Chain A
Amino acid sequence: MNEPLTARDYKSDVHPVWCPGCGDFGILNALTKAMAARQLPPEHVALISGIGCSSRLPAYLTTYGFHGVHGRALPLATGLAVARPDLTVVAMGGDGDGFSIGGNHFMHACRRNVNMVYLVMDNAVYGMTKGQASPTTETDWTGSKLTPAGTHMPAFRPLEIALASGCAFVAREFSGNPNGLARRIDEALDYPGFAFIQVLSPCITYRPEQMGYKKIVHDDFEPTAVRTEAMARLLDDDGMTTGLLFKAPPAPWQGDPVPDRHRAPERVLRVGAAA
């Protein structure tokens, strides 16, 4: 009963739909390690996801979870975190879910700064629909039958967008380093605001070249609390730098409501009542 919880205790018996070798396994492992490190009671944790390969993750945990519709993990998590500040809320999903169909929510969740962790498992491709370009796909990637001549659009830069939108905990990690990612998730869970981690997570089926990530990621971010420094650091970033980029005290969310037991909403509706 009082045995310490291990990472295994957070894993359910549901078998992942992911391809063997998928980067998302590393993220699942890191997340369960981080929760074990904090000895979080599984019933106090809620994993909120949208649609996509990575959004299947809540089913593989023994915590509470919500597998919602495409692109809306952040608002659903926001509602839960605001209504139930006693819970540990983790929103997660893929790059399409978070940056394309849910891109608007990403910016506003950064601004709103409600206490939660947001993990984007970024493989720069739509895997579940079998290999289309995502917002983070390189301009010249011609591997999709839907955009055989490339995307003709620059890749979305999530860290810059997060910084510009007011996010005060911005990091990038690599699924191939689950211990480092677990430590970063642990730190993000400690942070009393909206914490965003972009996790580079290779898709070995549609982007097999991403298996080379492990050779090119480099742990070079030096954390800063100065937003302009963080932004400047990204100007010549190759997208493969990992670590904590920016961490500053959170601007508080609107806060807890103040109860007023003497207030009666009926009073203002009554004819002849004092205004």
Chain B
Amino acid sequence: MTTDIGTQPETAPAAPGTPSNTLSIAISGSGGAGVMTVGELLLDAAARAGLYGRMGRTFGPQIRGGEAAALLRLSSRPVEGVGDAYDLLVALDWGNIDRFADEIPLASDSRVLFEARAGEVPEIIARTGARLLEQPYGEIARGVRGGRSNLVVLGQLARILALDPEVVRDAVRGRFGGTAIDTALAVLDLGLDRAPPIDRPIKRSSAGATGGSTASLPPATPRWNLSGNQAAGLGALRGGVRFVAAYPITPATDLLEWLAVELPAVEGHLVQAEDELAAVNMCIGASFGGVPAMTATSGPGLALMLESVGLAVAAEVPMVIVDVMRGGPSTGIPTKSEQTDLDVAVHGLHGEAPHLVLAPLGVADCLFTTQWSVELAEALQVPALVLSDQSLAQSRLVVDEPPVRVSPATRRRAEAPGEGYRRYALTDDGVSPMAVPGTPGGMHVADGLTHDPRGRPSSRASDHSAQLDKRRDKLVGFDFGDAWGEVDGDGSLAVITWGSSTAAVREAAARLRASGRAVRTIALRLLSPLPVEALTRALDGVERAIVVEHNHSGQLHRQLRAAADWPCPLFAWHRPGPLPLRPGELVEVIDARLTACSPPEETPA
């Protein structure tokens, strides 16, 4: 076993390509070892100390006893995505580390702190060349009756980061209750006292930072610490959703559990359905009753729902479906992320059924995108699919408090319908005033059968084409404004991306710009109907574009190629999960395209 315990405090260099004010830490252990607890506490403490950060989670399929790791990235500046490598790995044990070591890349100047009694350092770790520092975690924890190793780790990491111990204690007090607090604080103090000689404070980039100490001033503006699933839940609430029905599925379940507490407080309902077929139809029923409704699921559940999503399109009933994507196809990799459902979300309905598909561009953006999706669904009387994914949904992010956005009630109601009311009247914008049950004079039958403007079943060609036109026109004629996507930078090379890939694309572009290379990034929030005009404008002056996404077949690339003649060639770069896209690999991809004298062959669609 190679061990290297330095005698002098040393400053660990940052991983290559990582800003020096950023530190990535992985904490691994078997399920039940408490690595998620220590990760969450460290993120909370760092946030209380004025830092930004993110924490992702990786775990195997086991319920208990499987491998798990908390993956943190802390910084004095806002961070959204993961870095290229981990500066520190803390291993409480080596259980099944080989299954997920490739999710924790280490560089030769990384440090590995590991439990002394965990046995020999596995080859997969040793061969990285990272410096190994054996730690007597269990022994230290036993200094307090009932003490656990994970809080020793918290103390050590707080010391390495030079976090104010009192801030860390506040974080611990906020988490534990009763007598557990005293035990936890005592173990924390042991960890603070027995930290290894590594000094790695995160300096504040702004003026006033004192050297050698992590900024411990509380932030001037309020900050939030939230997961993508919480953000989506809050967006739903703010958008006016008051009915949720769903069937549990990883990684969407914690969104539902969060809403199960929050919805009743605003007199909303959450129903656990017997399956996804029921969930989506319960939402259609509630929304037919005038109550904005949402469900959340993942790929397998979405597949079950799609027949009834088509019903919502035909009957023009608004609803939101959050698909927290995971590795596919079939059961796939339930606990890992992949942008794999774009094709089925856009094209999975039978018949021709125009609807909305959107994707949040980051963890906190799950709030805006979900809220906006509720507004759009209600305004257009159409189902909206929101493509989140595991990496957004189950990562926690520290952000500046998001602005409050007030959602108007956007559903066009028939307030005083009467004789001759036409539920599916042909209007200029394709949206027909909707009477909800209880409204006198508005009685009609909402129907999945092709119908006439009154809603009566019809198989006449004229009715069919009129209603098909209406449902298309209300979407393509709608002014989605500026929120269709986000464009940064300029230059003749553009990177087009969507959803969770946006973070890595933006960080790669920022690094290239820092070295004097011009790169434009275009992140699409609205994926169906594709904002062809807006994207064409965003590509003005661009000579070539790369479409970057986290899947195996380049789904957005193919959909873009099919949708329009673009002003420049579109190249494709994509890679499936479960490993996240890292900014370093995208720097290479973009750089190669920038320096290419002549464009290589396009990736075949």
Q: In the complex where A82-B243, A272-B218 touch, is A66 in contact with B275 (Cβ < 8 A)?
A: no
- A65-B444 in contact (CB<8A): yes
A–B pairs, 8, beta carbons within 8 Å = A58-B445, A64-B442, A66-B285, A68-B311, A75-B281, A82-B243, A265-B234, A271-B219
When the two chains form the complex, which single residue of A14, A80, A266 contacts B437, counting CB atoms closer than 8 Å?
A80
Can you name the residue of chain B whose Cβ is closest to the Cβ of A42?
Answer: B443
Q: Which of chain A's residues 49-81 have a Cβ closer than 8 Å to chain B?
A: 56, 58-59, 62-69, 71-72, 74-81
A72 touches B277 (CB 8 A): yes
CB of A212 within 8 Å of the partner chain: no
Are A270 and B282 interface neighbours, CB within 8 A? no
Nearest chain-B residue to A69 (Cβ)? B311
Q: What is the total number of residues of chain B having a CB less than 8 Å from a CB of chain A? A: 69
Q: Are B281 and A72 in contact (CB under 8 A)?
A: yes
Distance (whole angstroms) from the CB of A161 to the closest CB of chain B? 14
A21 to chain B, nearest CB (A): 22
Query: Quick check: is A8 within 8 A (CB to CB) of the other chain?
Result: no
Are B274 and A108 interface neighbours, CB within 8 A? yes
Bound CA span A82–B245, Å: 11
Chain B residues near A157 (CB-CB < 8 A):
none
Contact of B243 among A43, A79, A270, A274 (CB under 8 A): A79
Q: Which A residues lie within 8 Å of B291 (CB)?
A: 83-84
Q: A43-B437, A83-B285, A259-B264 are in contact. List 18 more A-B contacts (CB 8 A).
A: A43-B439, A47-B445, A66-B284, A66-B445, A76-B282, A76-B284, A78-B278, A79-B289, A80-B437, A83-B242, A84-B289, A257-B268, A260-B265, A265-B234, A271-B44, A271-B47, A272-B218, A275-B174
Total A-B residue contacts, Cβ distance less than 8 Å:
191
Q: Is the CB of A259 within 8 A of B267?
A: yes
Which of B127-135, B223-231, B382-390 sits within the interface?
Answer: B223-231
CB of A31 within 8 Å of the partner chain: no
Residues of B near A108 (CB, < 8 A) are 273-274, 278
Chain A interface residues (CB < 8 Å from chain B) = 14, 41-48, 56, 58-59, 62-69, 71-72, 74-84, 86-87, 104-105, 107-108, 112, 256-260, 263, 265-266, 269-272, 274-275
Question: Which of B218, B265, B437, B448: most chain A CB closer than 10 A?
Answer: B437
Min Cβ gap B573→A in Å is 35
Per-residue A-contact encoding for B159-174, CB less than 8 Å = 1, 0 else: 0000000000010001
List residues of chain A with CB within 8 A of the CB of B275: 104
User: Which chain A residues border B143 with CB–CB below 8 Å?
Assistant: none
Say which residue of B226, B269, B279, B443 sits within 8 Å of A269 (CB atoms). B226
Residues of A within 8 A of B445 (CB): 47, 58-59, 64-67
Given A84-B291, A87-B437: A79 in contact with B230 (beta carbons within 8 A): no
**B 382-422 to A, binary, CB cutoff 8 A, 1 in contact else 0:** 00000000000000001001000000000000000000000
Chain B, interface SS category: mixed
- If A72-B308, A271-B224, A274-B174 touch, does A263 touch B265 (CB 8 Å cutoff)? yes
Contact between chains at A83 and B438 (CB < 8 Å): no
Q: Which residue of A lies closest to B283 (CB)?
A: A79
Name the 4 nearest CB pairs between A and B, nearest first: A79-B285, A79-B282, A257-B264, A83-B286
Could you tell me the distance between the alpha carbons of A211 and B308 in the complex, rounded to whole angstroms? Answer: 36
Please give the distance in Å from B473's CB to the nearest CB on chain A: 24
B-side contacts of A68, CB under 8 Å: 281, 284, 308, 311, 315, 448
B288 CB–A CB distance under 8 Å: yes
B466: CB under 8 A from chain A?
Answer: no
Q: Are B271 and A82 in contact (CB under 8 A)?
A: yes
Complex contacts, B449 vs chain A, CB 8 Å = 67
Given A72-B308, A83-B289, CB of A270 within 8 Å of CB of B284: no
A22→B468 CA distance, assembly (Å): 34
B457 at the interface (CB under 8 A from A): yes
Contact of B262 among A47, A105, A265 (CB under 8 A): A265
When chains A and B are docked, how far (Å) is the Cα of A207 from the Cα of B291?
Answer: 42
Q: Which residues of A contact B287 (CB under 8 A)?
A: 79
Contacts of B311 in A (CB 8 A): 68-69
Q: Quick one: which of B44, B170, B274, B439 has the most chain A CB within 10 A? A: B274
In chain B, residues 428-450, which have Cβ atoms closer than 8 Å to a Cβ of chain A? 437-449
Residue among B219, B271, B286, B446 making CB contact with A67, cutoff 8 Å: B446
Q: Is B544 an interface residue (CB 8 A)?
A: no
Q: Is the CB of B273 within 8 A of A46?
A: no
Q: Which residues of A contact B290 (CB under 8 A)?
A: 83-84
Q: Is A76 in contact with B281, judged by CB distance below 8 angstroms?
A: yes
B223→A270 contact, CB < 8 A: yes
Chain B residues with CB under 8 A of A86? 438
Residue B600 at the chain A interface, CB threshold 8 Å = no
Kindly list chain B residues whose C-beta atoms are within 8 Å of the C-beta of A258.
264-265
Cross-chain contact A271 with B222 (CB below 8 angstroms):
yes
Q: Which residues of B contact A44 (CB under 8 A)?
A: 437-438
B437 touches A269 (CB 8 A): no
